Amino acid sequence: MERVEVQRSGGIWRYAAPAAFYPLAGKLAPWFFALAIVLTVVGLYIGFFVAPTDFQQGESYRIIFIHVPAAWMSMFLYLIMAFWCGVGLVFNTRLSFMMASALAPTGALMTFIALWTGSFWGRPTWGTWWEWDARMTSELILLFLYIGFMSLHAAIDEVRRADRAAALLALVGVINVPIIYYSVKWWNTLHQGASVSVTAGSKMAPLMLQGMLIMSLAAWMYCIAVALMRVRAIIVEREAGAAWLNEAVA
């Protein structure tokens, strides 16, 4: 009965029901994947073949075409995840929690890529694999927050409680992220350790900037596509046995 009512309610809100969102996500995901592939090819072509060599850093700067989009996504995705967690706790919508769970692994992956590529860039440029720089340290802590979210969700068997507990943790985390960032920043200046500046490349050649922006769009598209695919899998897992799902899958 409840499902029929949800289906009938109009506008975009009907997609808050997993039964309505499942086919929509299935239709949208391939398009986002296609866009991600096209943008990645174009972005990487510009990045690796067209953009000029940096006069200070040489060729190694080209890692920014992966590194910067990954770092941006890692932070955006945490905010979006926390947003869906908030929506889920306020409106008690199951799909919001599923969305949050679908975003977390991608967010963690992006954080990891940002750290990994940053380390690869740091070795030839700064001469070290790791620097306790404010951004790197807070990125590392962001990775811990993602891992905490996923571990808590995985540790609780009852799905409803797992969703809500992890959502609360994400919200606590989102309040803490700026505090952590500024703490680490001030800590770093107090220690006067790192003499390197990440903001050195502010005068960026237009082609470099274009390549980076295209790669950022590609990262967005990839993350959306993967999140949609994953949310479909989560819906199938949780709604297993529902009549609409049997029809949809059959």
Binding site for other proteins (CB under 8 A): 141, 144-145, 147-148, 151-152, 155-156, 160-161, 164-165, 168-169, 172-173, 175-176, 179-180, 183-184, 186-187, 190
| Residue placing its CB nearer to other proteins in the complex, 122 or 173 | 173
Rounded to a whole number of angstroms, the minimum distance from the CB of residue 176 to other proteins is 5
Rounded to a whole number of angstroms, the minimum distance from the CB of residue 70 to other proteins is 20
Question: Which residues are CB-contacts of 220 (< 8 A; sequence separation ≥ 6)?
Answer: 73
| Residue placing its CB nearer to other proteins in the complex, 66 or 166 | 166
Rounded to a whole number of angstroms, the minimum distance from the CB of residue 178 to other proteins is 10
Rounded to a whole number of angstroms, the minimum distance from the CB of residue 107 to other proteins is 14
| Residue placing its CB nearer to other proteins in the complex, 133 or 227 | 133
CB atoms within 10 A of CB 190: 8
Region class of 51: left (phi > 0), else alpha (psi between -120 and 50), else beta: beta
3-state helix/strand/coil string of the chain? CHHHHHHHCCCHHHHHCHHHHHHHHHHHHHHHHHHHHHHHHHHHHHHHHHCCCECCCEHHHHHHHHHHHHHHHHHHHHHHHHHHHHHHHHHCCHHHHHHHHHHHHHHHHHHHHHHHHHHHHHHHHHCCCCCCCHHHHHHHHHHHHHHHHHHHHHHCCCHHHHHHHHHHHHHHHHHHHHHHHHHHHHHHHHHCCCCCCHHHHHCCCHHHHHHHHHHHHHHHHHHHHHHHHHHHHHHHHHCCCCHHHHHHHC
| Residue placing its CB nearer to other proteins in the complex, 37 or 140 | 140
Rounded to a whole number of angstroms, the minimum distance from the CB of residue 189 to other proteins is 11
| Residue placing its CB nearer to other proteins in the complex, 19 or 167 | 167
d(CA 56, CA 144): 34
| Residue placing its CB nearer to other proteins in the complex, 142 or 219 | 142
Rounded to a whole number of angstroms, the minimum distance from the CB of residue 112 to other proteins is 15
d(CA 40, CA 161): 39
| Residue placing its CB nearer to other proteins in the complex, 28 or 177 | 177
Rounded to a whole number of angstroms, the minimum distance from the CB of residue 164 to other proteins is 4
